[in-house]
Amino acid sequence: MRMVDIITKKRDGESLSEEEIRWFVNAYSDGDVPDYQASAFAMAIYFQGMSQAEAAALTYAMAESGDQLNLSAIEGVKVDKHSTGGVGDKTTLILGPLVAALDIPVAKMSGRGLGHTGGTIDKLEAFEGFRTEIDEDEFVQLVNTNKMALAGQSGNLTPADKKLYALRDVTATVNSIPLIASSVMSKKIASGSDAIVLDVKTGSGAFMENIEEAKQLAEAMVEIGNSLDRKTMALISNMDQPLGKFVGNALEVKEAIETLQGNGPDDLHELSIALASHMAVLGGKASNEAEGRRLVEKVMSDGTALEKMKLFIKGQGGNPEAVDHPAMLANANHIVSVTFEHSGYVSGMDAAQIGKAAMMLGAGRATKDDDIDHAVGLELVKKIGDYVKKGEPIAVLHANQHDTEHVVEMVMNAYSFSEEKVEKPTLIFDTIN
Ligand code: URA
């Protein structure tokens, strides 16, 4: 096979066979196809798209390009969840224990945060001693014992995707629905779960800024998952403002604990329950979402899920007492209020800008080798639809640095206001099965 023929076919809008796609993935991974040909191919896909069968073939070939987790020694239907990334999204910390409390095994691989979005591993490392570098045997044993474990992604998971994604990043070809869908799903398939619930975000803090594109991406991922024998569904959720009221690692853990205790903010509570209910359905414990919701709400209100969280934290070396006493988690030295000098309704929030402000305080990384400070971050006292009286705080910085003026300004600029009453935004736009 010759790469130039594969590029020509795609450029001219023809369909590629599974064999041709697999040949490209292998040859590119092995270094036999140079970056300039892979770039031309990615650009041809960007303009011509891919059929569902082509995207599934690309997904599968990339999933097989490196290590694949074998979870067959874990009893039960393993259900994974994936979010396309957002600001303040700590749902994994909440729905993991909720689903595990229903005896559905949660065997999750997660990543670290980069740029304006956070990562679950960074949040969990707010528990002193918490380990995420665990080998496959221990991982399987932890899930069988506690019903929940969470590990960092193995360095050799989907290397073909890693190489292609880095190339797309510098060739203006990231924003292609079949390429994003196959990239995300290849990692999910290699992570070994039987079923996948996707949370596809749309809005100012998300990859997909409008609902239509988010739906197309969700449909592409759901089709790929189902065609590769993983029961897959997606929710389309709003990321026009951060989720919950806190952004920053220990602050988000504290908010997740409060939510598991039934005292979380409405949007975070609702999205966590909705995602967990769908996981209960795919995990075979409920026949529909309403039944899933009843089960999930019960393990939240009777404390079973909170107990699961303690077991999970302890199992991976963290101190479970911090779940009962969250003040034991890192706290910042300075509290700085951001106040609004007029009265009015919050009409908009630039979620990406808020994420960047938290990063400037040290809560996130600008480059992948940066250290993070678990204690710092932001409390968003006011969110879209809330009324602010002149001089009231709209947000509070938790900082370990004295010089916070530039961050205060960033947060202020991320908010917009209106004199007219503003409705609270819709949280979940659609469900894709
Ligand atoms: N995240 C991924 O993992 N892959 C993409 O292509 C885009 C976002």
Start and end residues for every CATH 1.20.970.10 domain found in the chain: 3-49
pLDDT at site 115: 73
Looking at CATH, the fold of the domain delimited by 3-49 is given as 1.20.970
Architecture of domain 330-418: Alpha-Beta Complex (3.90)
Q: What's the 370 CA to ligand 1 centre distance in angstroms? A: 21
- Catalytic annotation present for 237: no
Burial letters 106-132, b for 16+ CB under 10 A, else e = bbbbbebbbebbbbbbbbbbbbeebeb
Ligand 1 proximity of 397 Cβ (cutoff 6 Å): no
Hey, which of 117, 167, 175, 184 would you mutate to test ligand 1's pocket, going by the most ligand atoms within 8 Å of its Cβ?
184
- Catalytic annotation present for 123: no
- Catalytic annotation present for 161: yes
Angle at 363 between CA 358 and CA 366, to 5 degrees: 85
Return per-residue pLDDT of the chain as tens, 433 residues: 999 999 999 999 999 999 999 999 999 999 999 999 999 999 999 999 999 999 999 999 999 999 999 999 999 999 999 999 889 999 999 999 999 999 999 999 887 777 777 789 999 999 999 999 999 899 999 999 999 999 987 779 999 999 999 999 899 999 899 999 999 999 999 999 999 999 999 998 788 889 999 999 999 999 999 999 999 999 999 999 999 999 999 999 999 999 999 999 999 999 999 999 999 999 999 999 999 999 999 999 999 999 999 999 999 999 999 999 999 999 999 999 999 988 999 999 999 999 999 999 999 988 878 889 999 999 999 999 999 999 999 999 999 999 999 999 999 999 999 999 999 999 999 999 9
Architecture of domain 79-324: 3-Layer(aba) Sandwich (3.40)
- Catalytic annotation present for 82: yes
Q: What's the 222 CA to ligand 1 centre distance in angstroms? A: 15
Start and end residues for every CATH 3.40.1030.10 domain found in the chain: 79-324
Q: What's the 404 CA to ligand 1 centre distance in angstroms? A: 33
- Residue position matching structure tokens 């992604």: 153
Torsion of CA 45, 51, 54, 55, to 10 degrees: 80
pLDDT at site 204: 84
Ligand 1 proximity of 46 Cβ (cutoff 6 Å): no
Q: pTM (2 decimals)?
A: 0.96
Burial letters 205-230, b for 16+ CB under 10 A, else e = bbbbeebebbbbbbbbbbbbbbbbeb
E-assigned strand segments in 140-224: 148-152, 195-202
Ligand 1 proximity of 183 Cβ (cutoff 6 Å): yes
Of ligand 1's listed atoms, the one at least distance from the Cα of 183 is: 4
The residue whose C-alpha atom lies closest to atom 6 belonging to ligand 1 is: 180
pLDDT at site 207: 81
Start and end residues for every CATH 3.90.1170.30 domain found in the chain: 330-418
Ligand 1 proximity of 165 Cβ (cutoff 6 Å): yes
